[in-house]
Amino acid sequence: MTGHAQGRDRFWKIKISACTNIIISSYNIFLLSPHWQVHGGTTKKHIIEKVRQAESLAEFNCQKYGQHIITVLFFDEANTTEAVGCIKEIMCDGTIDGQPLILNTNLKLVAACNPYRK
């Protein structure tokens, strides 16, 4: 891993640790890509697909590495998409299209929003 990649991964681990109650070490967390950049073209379908992908990865990580492993899906710039309501529904309501969403307890969802600009 290059110095830039190590610094980037460290940055995301610190950012996620600040947003959650997860104590992060290099032994207990997997970052997805390490984050997912949401943008104006991101649709509800994309968001749901990414959550399902993260759920599968969390299951795989727990089976392969143990139950102490946390997988994090980080929605960066979550408020830049028209489908921000879908992110809210998944993270706050625990549903997708009104249907209960049962996530692996080792999958954590974190989102960051950019300040509004005129």
Percent of residues, the chain, with pLDDT higher than 70: 67
pLDDT of residue 34 exceeding 50, the answer is no
Give dist(CA 53, CA 32) in Å, integer: 9
Q: Are 91 and 49 in contact (CB under 8 A)?
A: no
Alpha-carbon distances, residue 50 vs 1, 76, 86 (angstroms): 25, 13, 12
For 45, other C-beta atoms within 10 Å of its C-beta total 10
pLDDT of residue 61 exceeding 50, the answer is yes
Domain boundaries, the chain: 3-111
- Per-residue pLDDT tens digits for 69-116: 888 888 888 888 889 999 999 999 989 888 888 887 888 888 888 776
